[in-house]
Structure 1
Amino acid sequence: MPAQARYDVVGLGNAIVDVIARADDDFLVLHDLRKGGMTLIDEARARSLYAAMGQTTVVSGGSAANTIIGLASLGRSAAFIGKVKADELGEMFAHDIRAANVAFSTAPAGDGASSARCLIVVTPDGQRTMSTYLGACQNLCVDDIDAEMVADSRVVYLEGYLWDPPAAKDAFRKASRIARAAGRETALSLSDAFCVDRYRDEFLEFMRSGGAQVIFANESELHSLYETADFATALAALKAEGVLGVVTRSEKGCVVVRGDAVVEVDAFPVESVVDTTGAGDLFAAGFLAGYTQGRALGDCARLGALAAAEIIQHIGARPQTDLRRLAGQNGLAA
């Protein structure tokens, strides 16, 4: 990738405010919530579930936005493109992401659906169950793509969750074309196994046509992509795609493949798992922080593992520690 760029990474994704509460498994059963998954809901369901959640923590979220803020915490230059409405939640999102030193200039919608929110229930085992009202997020369109910002970023990072709306999908494809024309790289996060189930063929076509040169997936997403329960078979299929593949495996660490090269890195040890929300997002942040500096793939993966370890030891998907300082303390100065 060209050395000169204003931004290391620009992320495109859902601009969401996270509403987080602790509850036991009985709460999930009572409200018909699929443990550990993400379910799309309408605004009425969002209101009723919120009323049942009790005490909550409110913080700006969204998968790609979490990654971009993690990158900023690691000292990298970052930008974000995502849609909110000009309402209270939209203003909160914009304030939070700019306060994290991330460039964000997407114009808010003046009417239509309200800003998005993700209602997250965290059970005692640290698992998070998400119910997401996408709202204004889905209105991201090609006109929202800042061509200059995209062309001036080393990596364009696309959030698979936002593949549902046709207009947003067109926006992703436009950003990928701009990046390719500028000699940049595009990374795609598969986001969720159920998302892959819906768009398997489109994700594969996007990757194989050169739309994405870097793929981020967890183990279940990789199994879904290649429709196999055997990890070795799925990994071999990813290797054959000719992309840089980054696969997280929770406590088993991660595997990075590029051509014939295979790099395995252990997970960082943690004292306790409090909330797994954002673990994959922050892993991507750490990996891309190293990758945009031209570091060895093993070091990129270790940075990712360190950032993920920080995030799962507290509530919420935004770092509570200066990740750049933490990296330095662990011999991984970013």
Structure 2
Amino acid sequence: MTGRVLVIGDVMTDIIVKPEGPIVIGSDRRAEIRNRPGGSGANQAVWLASAGAEIVFAARVGAADKVFYENYFRGRGIVPVLGGDPDLPSGVLVTLLDPSGERSFLTDRGANLNLGPDDLGEDLLEGVGLVLVSGYSFFASGPRRAVQALLSVARARGVAIAVDPASTGFLDEVGPHLFRNWVGEADWLFANESEAEMLSSEADFDARMRDLGTQFRHVVIKRGRFGAVLGGKDGVAVSLPAPVVTVVDTTGAGDAFAAHFVAALLGGADGAACLSKGIAGGVEAVQFIGGQPQ
């Protein structure tokens, strides 16, 4: 596979809250609170660029932040194509970290909800070998229609499509069958274990892989500390473990995994090597606070 990667997804400001202990309802709890650039699409774009891939990133932000974000992404080696929303501010995500590094989220998607056809023109596909779409882009009707239209053009042009479901919470709200209909056929699925379980009605792991493989030519399931697997309609093809590391924050680990996998794929690596690179990216991401490489 050759060409640039077009990433479509959210831009968010991540507010990361790490309390010293359990939340005290109606009172105070000391906490470490940090702001970081984030958003599933933005994280993937930055990780991909850091891995050496050529990236175009399409998204929507608050008009007041447009120049700031354009400069930020250019500084990371990314070509930004950002719409500036006059009505909604840029998205914000509050992440609550527990002592194990697991996360809970409070999400205000802001301007991301107004991503539309004007933000996703067909010219974005020029020189692109793969489109990587965050599942968040399917959960609101306006962005969904815009993304579906661009993916239809990508399919007609033979451009590969990769989808990251992004959120079990939103998947549960809309239902897996509807989400799969929205997405349509694609070349790659990057799902974590919970997302894969939710998207397939199969209880057996290998059967689940085969089920997802009827829609997605290649299926990658990220299993956190247990590593990752690659397969498709014939079941599991490759399974690799993850090394044991100290987990500080799992924010962006799945984005880092997908980015390093895709970067290796663009470099001509085989499935096992891509899986290994993806695991290494995820391992790197969990060892510091924030969803983008330091």
Q: Same fold (TM over 0.5)?
A: yes
Distance 2:178 2:75 in 1: 35
1:30 to 5, 25, 45: 25
Conservation of the 8 A alpha-carbon contact between 2:19 and 2:32: no
Cα offset, 1:285, TM superposition: 0.3
Identity %: 29
Distance 2:288 2:261 in 1: 21
In the other structure, the counterpart of 2:291 is: 317
Q: Does 1:76 align with 2:33?
A: no
1:275 to 249, 255, 259: 249
Q: Does 1:58 align with 2:32?
A: no
In the other structure, the counterpart of 2:9 is: 13
Distance 1:226 1:199 in 2: 11
Conservation of the 8 A alpha-carbon contact between 1:106 and 1:144: yes
In the other structure, the counterpart of 2:69 is: 93
Conservation of the 8 A alpha-carbon contact between 1:14 and 1:62: yes
Distance 2:178 2:117 in 1: 18
Q: Secondary structure of 2:260's match? A: helix
Distance 1:96 1:199 in 2: 36
In structure 1, runs of 5+ residues without a counterpart are 32-50, 321-334
Per-residue CA shift, 1:214-261, capped at 9, x if unaligned?
Answer: 111111111111135543332231234351101011111111013436
Q: Secondary structure of 1:94's match? A: helix
Residues 167 and 242 (structure 1), Cα distance of their counterparts in 2 relative to 1, 3 Å cut: closer
Bigger drift between 233-242 and 98-107 goes to 233-242
Number of residue-to-residue matches in the alignment: 291
Cα offset, 1:92, TM superposition: 4.2
Paired AA for residue 72 in structure 1: A
Runs of 4 or more consecutive aligned structure 1 residues displaced over 4 Å after TM superposition:
51-55
Distance 2:104 2:72 in 1: 23
Cα offset, 1:151, TM superposition: 3.6
Distance 1:147 1:315 in 2: 36
In structure 2, runs of 5+ residues without a counterpart are none
Distance 1:93 1:289 in 2: 23
Residues 64 and 242 (structure 1), Cα distance of their counterparts in 2 relative to 1, 3 Å cut: closer
In the other structure, the counterpart of 2:96 is: 121
Residues 162 and 228 (structure 1), Cα distance of their counterparts in 2 relative to 1, 3 Å cut: same
Q: Name the structure where strand makes up a greater proportion of residues.
A: 2
Q: Does 1:172 align with 2:150?
A: no
1:135 to 110, 113, 118: 110
Q: Does 1:144 align with 2:139?
A: no
Aligned residues: CA RMSD: 2.2
Conservation of the 8 A alpha-carbon contact between 2:81 and 2:119: no
Paired AA for residue 22 in structure 1: K
Cα offset, 1:266, TM superposition: 1.4
In the other structure, the counterpart of 2:180 is: 204
